[in-house]
Amino acid sequence: MLKLYHTPLSFNSRRVWVMLLEKQVEFEEIILSLQGDQFDPEFLKLNPFHQMSILNSKLGVNA
Ligand SMILES: N[C@@H](CCC(=O)N[C@@H](CS)C(=O)NCC(=O)O)C(=O)O
């Protein structure tokens, strides 16, 4: 299943979140904060550029 790592206050995050809802795609939501979660080592493994959102699927990571 798709995993969306995002932060609700970010417009860039919301674009992806809304698209998934509109297309009725099933996804797991992982809500993070921009108060430092983007620098968590586990998050940096997914996106070294420390930006949200991230859409993670079996095909790879889309930032
Ligand atoms: N290219 C990305 C940019 C995403 C982006 O700039 N996200 C910001 C929040 S709106 C972010 O995560 N900033 C955290 C940081 O730079 O440390 C997109 O268009 O979605």
- Single pTM value for the model: 0.92
pLDDT score at 56: 93
Residue 34 Cβ inside 6 Å of ligand 1? The answer reads yes
Q: Whose CA is nearest to atom 19 of ligand 1?
A: 12
Pocket mutation for ligand 1, best pick of 12, 16, 17, 37 (most atoms within 8 Å of C-beta) = 12
Beta-bridged to residue 55, according to DSSP, are: 4, 62
Mind listing the pLDDT tens digit for each residue in 36-45?
999 999 999 9
How close is the Cα of 12 to the center of ligand 1, in Å? 6
Those residues with Cβ within 8 angstroms of residue 2's Cβ, 6 or more apart along the chain or in another chain: 20, 25, 26, 27, 28, 55, 56, 57
Q: Is residue 62's pLDDT more than 90?
A: no
Task: Please indicate whether residue 32 or residue 60 has the higher confidence score (pLDDT).
Answer: 32
Judge if the upstream peptide bond of residue 53 is cis by omega within 30 degrees of 0: yes
